[in-house]
Amino acid sequence: MARNFAVFVTVARPSAEFTSSASTCSLNPLTALNCALLLIQNFEFGEYPKDSHWTLITSKEALSEPPPATVLPIPDISNKNAFASSSMAEINAFIRENEDFMAKMGVSAANWLVIDQKGLESSTCLVCSQICNPGEDEEGARARRG
């Protein structure tokens, strides 16, 4: 069973701007991303970092050992984030291609989270869940369409 959930950041240079009636506050890219990762932690029912189950995935290369949960603050990833500017379809394709490997590494291939520019600006994220029909294969799907 997966112990961690993957987090993908699709923004090349994450940043966020917050406007209040008094002023506008711009966060630098690293602060904005650290803030977003901090918001997904559940401090009400868990102790950080011991109970953190989020793993920031920045490389498309195979891992040699299970990745730990991401500890904050994270370093600048702007020059080493393979998922910057990736579409949802590209992230899904990566997960599908590496599903078995991710399971071995303890990272869920069924549920993952995507942080994009709009999410940074609105303090939201995309939570993705892969729904599969057990036993369905390409032949079964093709037979129903045919």
Q: How many domains does the chain have?
A: 1
Task: Give per-residue pLDDT as tens, 54-82.
Answer: 889 999 987 778 887 788 888 888 888 99
Distance CA 3, CA 34 (A): 21
Task: Give per-residue pLDDT as tens, 83-103.
Answer: 999 999 999 999 999 988 898
pLDDT of residue 6: 92
pLDDT of residue 48: 62
86: tokens are 């990736």
What is the arithmetic mean of pLDDT over 29-46?
74
Confidence label for 112 from pLDDT (cuts 50, 70 and 90): very high
Which domain, by its residues, includes 94?
4-145
Task: Give per-residue pLDDT as tens, 113-143.
Answer: 999 888 877 778 888 988 766 555 555 444 4
pTM of the model: 0.76
For the beta sheet containing 107-115, the strands, ordered from the edge strand earlier in sequence to the opposite edge, are: 54-56, 4-9, 107-115, 126-129
pLDDT of residue 46: 67
Question: Before 49, cis peptide (omega within 30)?
Answer: yes
